[in-house]
Structure 1
Amino acid sequence: MSVQLLLVDDEPGLREAVKEYLQESGFNVQVASNASEGWEMLQQMTPELVISDVMMPQVDGYQFLKQMREDKRFQSLPVIFLTAKGMTNDRIQGYQAGVDAYIPKPFDPEELIAIVENLLNRRVKKGAVFRENGENSDITELANQIAQIKALLTQRTSISQSPAPFKIDLTPREQSVLNSVAEGLMNKEIARRLDTSVRNVEKYVSRLFSKTGTNSRTELVRFALEHGLAN
């Protein structure tokens, strides 16, 4: 499967030219004409990297980047700025906002590809180190949460539910993931059950945290039980 990129730029000509060049280099590219549209697309897909213009109407690139960095789902997502604002102060502002690379227009497409590939390779290596150093502690923490969830399930009848049904907008897939989490299943087990990837399961669990205002699987299950959300 090719790497998924999100390109956000309000200039149609440049947007299509960059998209075509990236696709010719083997990337799968989704495009948005402004930051608001880009943010909506981020709710539907999880790209490996975002390329964004800075000077856009209504919501500019800095605000778009700030919105991403304030969301835990996108805090480590690589972001490249493509912009006509190439002064030193502009680049400093971009890096202070958390951008990973800053390419002034006009630019060499080959340089863009080189930077994209470099950031993607760094992310892969960083993820490998994280898994090597943190896998045991992560598994232990997850096992503890699963144990707590199973304990909650034994007390299910004693957990009082809200007198009125709690309304929350869950997609069918989010509901399926929530039901599986409430059964005490781990991400790999949920992925097998739903015939999807572990990464997608992690994405849905993260969305459930966001929608319910919870921070752990245990909190999520208790919330679901208290509000009658889990089947």
Structure 2
Amino acid sequence: MSDKLLLVDDEPGLREAVQAYLSQSGFTVEVATNGQEGWDKLQQDIPDLVITDIMMPEVDGYQLLKQMREDPRLKAIPVVFLTARGMTSDRIQGYQARCDAYISKPFDPDELVAVVENLLARRSNATEGLEDGETPDIATLARQIQEIKELLTHKSAIPQKSDPVQIDLTPREESVLELVAQGLMNKEIASRLETSVRNVEKYVSRLFSKTGTNSRTELVRYALENGLTD
């Protein structure tokens, strides 16, 4: 399973060229011709990362980014600005708006791929509850498992919401969620589902995005409160 990217740009030639290059680099790329269409597609299918132009009609890149950061399901998705606005002041404004990377046109496609791969790798670390640059250690993994097991031990004390949130999960996401809720880590889940650890990381990351949670413990509590797991 390849990483899913959403590319938002109103320039047809550049949009098609970037889509083709990213696809050749192993990514699955959905495209939108403007910010409003990009927002609509985010409501239908949550990607692993968004690449967007800034200067677009109706909804520009800043507005799209603001909407994403205010939406619990989308706020953790990495966003790359790919824009002709290349002044230092423009870059500062972009980072102040909380974009994750800022690339000026014209650009080297290999640089874009490197930036995307780096952001996705950093996000994979986050799915294990780690800070950027940290590596998993036994104490961290043990703590996460213990927290989840304590939740399950006292799950009868966690009230289910009378009006639970309805979230559209794929069958594979449901399977991963059930195993996370059993206190299994990604390597164990990968073994159970006969897939790669990298694929499990992607599914856990999407579960974080869809539920607006930031750790495995939060995810399990959310699932219990909303009846997403037994």
In 1, are the aligned partners of 2:65 and 2:79 still within 8 Å (CA)? no
Q: Which amino acid counterpart does residue 182 of structure 1 have in structure 2?
A: A
User: Equivalents in 2 of 1:117, 1:189: separation in Å?
Assistant: 30
Q: Which amino acid counterpart does residue 101 of structure 2 have in structure 1?
A: D
In 2, are the aligned partners of 1:7 and 1:15 still within 8 Å (CA)? yes
Residue of structure 2 in register with 1:201 after alignment: 200
Q: Highest CA radius of gyration, 1 or 2?
A: 1
Return closer, same or farther for 1:227/1:114 CA change in 2, 3 Å cut-off.
closer
Q: Which amino acid counterpart does residue 178 of structure 1 have in structure 2?
A: L
RMSD: 4.0
Higher relative CO (Cα under 8 Å, sequence separation at least 6) belongs to: 2
SS in 1 for 2:52: strand
User: Equivalents in 1 of 2:151, 2:183: separation in Å?
Assistant: 10
Can you list the C-alpha shifts for 1:45-83, whole angstroms capped at 9, x where unaligned? Answer: 324xx5422111232112234455665532xx3624223
Cα offset, 1:9, TM superposition: 0.8
Residue of structure 2 in register with 1:169 after alignment: 167
In 1, are the aligned partners of 2:18 and 2:109 still within 8 Å (CA)? no
Return closer, same or farther for 1:55/1:72 CA change in 2, 3 Å cut-off.
closer
Segments of 5+ residues of structure 1 without an aligned counterpart are none
In 2, are the aligned partners of 1:35 and 1:64 still within 8 Å (CA)? yes
Residue of structure 2 in register with 1:192 after alignment: 191
Residue of structure 2 in register with 1:7 after alignment: 7
Can you list the C-alpha shifts for 1:145-182, whole angstroms capped at 9, x where unaligned? Answer: 212322343445x4364484734224133322222122
User: Equivalents in 2 of 1:56, 1:191: separation in Å?
Assistant: 41
Matched, 1:150 2:149: yes
TM-score by length of 1: 0.67
Return closer, same or farther for 1:200/1:73 CA change in 2, 3 Å cut-off.
farther
In 2, are the aligned partners of 1:79 and 1:99 still within 8 Å (CA)? yes
User: Equivalents in 2 of 1:12, 1:183: separation in Å?
Assistant: 47
Give the paired residue count.
Answer: 216
Can you list the C-alpha shifts for 1:9-56, whole angstroms capped at 9, x where unaligned? Answer: 123233224434x25964544322123443535943324xx5422111
The 5 Å alignment of 1:68-217 reads 73-74=76-77, 77=78, 79-83=80-84, 85=85, 89-97=89-97, 98=99, 100-104=101-105, 107=106, 111-119=107-115, 133-136=134-137, 139-156=138-155, 158-159=156-157, 161-162=159-160, 164=162, 166-171=164-169, 172-209=171-208, 211-212=210-211, 214-217=213-216
The 5 Å alignment of 1:34-49 reads 34-39=34-39, 40-41=41-42, 43-47=45-49
Q: Bigger CA drift: 184-193 or 167-176?
A: 167-176
Cα offset, 1:131, TM superposition: 7.9
- Paired-residue identity, %: 53
Residue of structure 1 in register with 2:128 after alignment: none
Can you list the C-alpha shifts for 1:200-225, whole angstroms capped at 9, x where unaligned? Answer: 43444344445555544334434444
Segments of 5+ residues of structure 2 without an aligned counterpart are 126-130
